[in-house]
Structure 1
Amino acid sequence: MSSSFLEQPALDPPPGVVPDFVNTGGYHNFGYGLIIGTSVVSTVAVLARLVSSASMRKLLIEDVLLVAALGVFAGNQYITYDLSIYPGFWTHQWNIQNGFLPHFLYNVHLGAVFYGPTSLLIKVSILVNWLRIFVPKGTRGPTFWVLHTLLWTNVFFYFITTVTEIVRCDPREKIWNPFFEGGSCPINVEDQNIATSVINFISDSTILAAPQWVIWKLQMSRSRKWGLSLLFVIGIGAWVFGVVRLVYFIKLLSSDDATFLFSGVALWTILEVTTGFLIMGIPAFPRAARMLPMSDSVANFFQSLWSRSGLSNTQISTPQWQFYKPKSRRRRGLWEISEMDTHNMLSVSSTGGNSNNNQVNTTTGGNESDDAMKTHDDPTGTQIV
């Protein structure tokens, strides 16, 4: 392959446009800001979860999965940073040379490989946490089967798509080198990526709807149901970002300007994954905030915001017991809830709220037994009165 060919534009420019391989027109600072901002937000969300668990001297499986997801996500952030350096976000393909195209496509391939495990670890973490929150131990109701179906479907699907992405061409260099002669690519990567996006859409939609389905079956006032629903509304962000990512990916399949449209795929993928970390991290923020200096001021800030939003009567937080010590009779704060309250809420959700004997416990005291407290154990996940 001649050096003159490698120095030519990777795509014929439109009439009247002169390729510029130095000033590509890409947005470098946008890429840096996106990577730094989403990395900080994701890390803070995971740290909040870990600090919350540490305060209870308990590390849950979803915490470990979340840390692993953050590690894989760091790999994706690195390759996006590399592309931000050159050619930059939203660079047209005629402003890069043929010689750079294999490097660009190799990073695209790595991004596809990193995306599967990252999404899988986050979704499994969310689903395991919601099984802990919404399904009482020993029960096999509709919520149990829906969440387990989602969990194992995601495990199977992401495992298959990640493996096929890695081995889709023989030899593998043909995946990222369009100038490689010989070999074969028997797997249709376009159909696979469309299937991945569609499965993500269905999965995200179901994950978004599952807690709302449980919450709106509870026996409590409509205003309190709205308050609880808003705690899980962050999932709408992941759903929206996933839909926009699918739109950009479909456009990418029908366009020759891959470097330009791939910027949209990368942008919305990063935002989708970051929102997944927030789904797990936000419920842990109140407890983590109490571990910081001036925690009372931080808690008062949260409480003032909650009061102004009209949700001051909705009590949401994590349990305050430790080693099953008896509870004090003091009035509970905004961010406090007992394990007995959670167990009663779960009893209502599992029976559809039709039994008069299963009422949501809204008392401020209570003579909870140790056995009742042990039935549902989630010191860091969201607990609902």
Structure 2
Amino acid sequence: MDPNGPALKPPPGVVPKLDNPPNRNDIAIGVITACASVATGCYWGALYAEIGLIYTPGYFVHQWDVRLKDMIAVQYYVFLFGVFYSVVLPLLKVTILLEWCRMFAPRGHRSEGYFWWGCAAVIFVQVTSGIGIVVSLNLQCIPHSAIWDITIQATSKCFDLYKLQVASASIQLISDVAILLLPQQVIWSLKMSWRKRAGVSVIFGLGLLACISAAVRLQTTVVHGKAKDAVWTLPPLAFWALAEMTCGFFIVSLPCIPKILKETGAGSKIKRALGFSSAGDTSKRQWESDGTGPRSNHSRLAGSTVSNTYYRLDPLKSSESTEYLRKGSQDVGITRTTKISVMHEGNADDRYIYP
């Protein structure tokens, strides 16, 4: 074999362009930059491998336009990306599920529902499969350098990675679907208005993006594994695997989104933009700001007493009760206690009980 010749025999009538093969590196740079901006610094190992493929051999380059000796670098970058992907993604999903167990399965009640057991099962699968896949990737050839060095592959022992790649993609897709569905029953059983439950459900339902990425990644894995022109079919597989990891980082941050929207005021702006604000909300805000609502009274409570703040709530001045049956008694002691509760539906900060 001529090391300076094409890595694959071109189709009839096609002349290899080995020195400057046509490519679509502009697409690769755009996708990699967009994903890196979402979760920069978290998976630079995988990004390093994908960036390396820009220079050797380039994205969407036919294999017959690549020198055979350049396939060493290509296979090395593919090997690196596979290892980093198989480490980063399981760790992301374990992080997601542990956080959700802390939120939705408090201690002492974790074994009462399917949610905690479902999370535990997915965590077990992710940890065991992640370790197994990483070990298999590193033992696919003996000696180890034969994984990417094509000059010694003829004398080495290697096994086909196709089944392992399909199994990995299938495990990740099933896990993504499980992570999408697991919190939904818990969310819809929360004691809050249906609008709030729907909002929380939609936020956690954004894991659908990860399911889409995993599904397409599985499809591209099958296509890539069966293709003769593997260099040409590699970019879609790399892009969707990168998108799947990016979605994982996004899902990790989901619990922080409602707090960010509330503190920045973006949530109210989004509601008004979508037309969700109503006259009732406006009147409620006016009621709380004009000095008559519980929020207003609560804010004034530090500088006043309960009696002068809630002077209207004095049942002893407006009616007689059984306590006056003993009005003339000379007994010493507590003859009556009165407990007045003032509540309105809302947050825990808006509930006051005055004895």
Pairwise TM-score range, normalised by the shorter structure: 0.7 to 0.9
- Find the counterpart in structure 2 of residue 97 from structure 1: 67
Given candidates 15, 27, 31, the residue that maps to 1:30 is 27
Q: Distance in 1 between matches of 2:177 and 2:45?
A: 27
Number of residues of Structure 1 aligned to a counterpart in Structure 2: 288
Q: Distance in 1 between matches of 2:255 and 2:176?
A: 19
Given candidates 251, 255, 268, the residue that maps to 1:303 is 268
Q: Distance in 2 between matches of 1:306 and 1:25?
A: 48
- Find the counterpart in structure 1 of residue 47 from structure 2: 77
Q: Does 2:181 align with 1:216?
A: no
Given candidates 241, 246, 250, the residue that maps to 2:222 is 250
Q: Distance in 2 between matches of 1:133 and 1:306?
A: 26
Q: Aligned-pair RMSD on alpha carbons?
A: 2.6
Q: Distance in 1 between matches of 2:199 and 2:27?
A: 35
Residue 41 of structure 1 aligns with an amino acid whose one-letter code is V
Q: CA deviation at 1:280?
A: 1.6
Evaluate the alpha carbon distance shift between residue 367 and residue 155 of structure 1 in structure 2; reply closer, same or farther with a 3 A threshold.
farther
- Find the counterpart in structure 1 of residue 105 from structure 2: 135
Given candidates 203, 213, 216, the residue that maps to 1:241 is 213
Deviation string 1:43-97 (CA, Å, 9 cap, x unpaired) is 3xxxxxxxxxxxxxxxxxxxxxxxxxx54x1011011111112322211111111
Amino-acid identity (%): 30
Given candidates 192, 199, 208, the residue that maps to 1:227 is 199
Structure 2 runs not aligned, ≥5 long = 279-293, 298-344
Residue 206 of structure 1 aligns with an amino acid whose one-letter code is A
Q: Does 2:166 align with 1:194?
A: yes
Q: Distance in 2 between matches of 1:330 and 1:190?
A: 66
Q: CA deviation at 1:215?
A: 1.6
- Find the counterpart in structure 2 of residue 9 from structure 1: 6
Q: CA deviation at 1:221?
A: 4.3
Mapped contact 1:223–1:311 kept (Cα < 8 A): no
Q: Does 2:155 align with 1:182?
A: yes
Evaluate the alpha carbon distance shift between residue 135 and residue 86 of structure 1 in structure 2; reply closer, same or farther with a 3 A threshold.
same
Q: Distance in 1 between matches of 2:114 and 2:224?
A: 39
Mapped contact 1:224–1:311 kept (Cα < 8 A): no
Mapped contact 1:27–1:84 kept (Cα < 8 A): no
Q: Secondary structure at the match of 1:137?
A: coil
Mapped contact 2:56–2:70 kept (Cα < 8 A): no
Q: CA deviation at 1:37?
A: 1.6
Q: Distance in 1 between matches of 2:121 and 2:350?
A: 36
Q: Distance in 2 between matches of 1:115 and 1:248?
A: 16
Q: CA deviation at 1:365?
A: 2.3
Q: CA deviation at 1:192?
A: 1.1
Mapped contact 2:56–2:74 kept (Cα < 8 A): no
Q: Distance in 1 between matches of 2:4 and 2:296?
A: 75
Q: CA deviation at 1:366?
A: 5.8
- Find the counterpart in structure 1 of residue 339 from structure 2: none
Q: CA deviation at 1:201?
A: 1.1
Q: Does 2:71 align with 1:106?
A: no
Q: Secondary structure at the match of 2:157?
A: coil
Q: Distance in 1 between matches of 2:87 and 2:212?
A: 20
Work out which structure has the larger RCO, using CA pairs closer than 8 Å and 6 or more positions apart in sequence.
1
Q: Does 2:137 align with 1:153?
A: no
- Find the counterpart in structure 2 of residue 116 from structure 1: 86
Q: CA deviation at 1:225?
A: 2.7
Q: Does 2:335 align with 1:365?
A: no
Q: Secondary structure at the match of 1:256?
A: coil
Q: CA deviation at 1:188?
A: 3.9
Mapped contact 1:9–1:98 kept (Cα < 8 A): yes
Residue 8 of structure 1 aligns with an amino acid whose one-letter code is G
Q: Distance in 2 between matches of 1:330 and 1:264?
A: 58
- Find the counterpart in structure 2 of residue 18 from structure 1: 15
Q: Distance in 1 between matches of 2:267 and 2:350?
A: 26
Structure 1 runs not aligned, ≥5 long = 44-69, 291-295, 314-327, 332-360, 369-385
Q: Distance in 2 between matches of 1:300 and 1:8?
A: 62
Mapped contact 1:170–1:184 kept (Cα < 8 A): yes
Residue 159 of structure 1 aligns with an amino acid whose one-letter code is I
Q: CA deviation at 1:302?
A: 3.7
Residue 156 of structure 2 aligns with an amino acid whose one-letter code is G
Deviation string 1:308-344 (CA, Å, 9 cap, x unpaired) is 346669xxxxxxxxxxxxxx9679xxxxxxxxxxxxx
- Find the counterpart in structure 2 of residue 323 from structure 1: none
Q: Distance in 1 between matches of 2:277 and 2:200?
A: 11
- Find the counterpart in structure 1 of residue 240 from structure 2: 268
TM-score, normalised by the number of residues in structure 1? 0.69
Deviation string 1:171-227 (CA, Å, 9 cap, x unpaired) is 012212333231212x44211111111111111110011112222333544433321
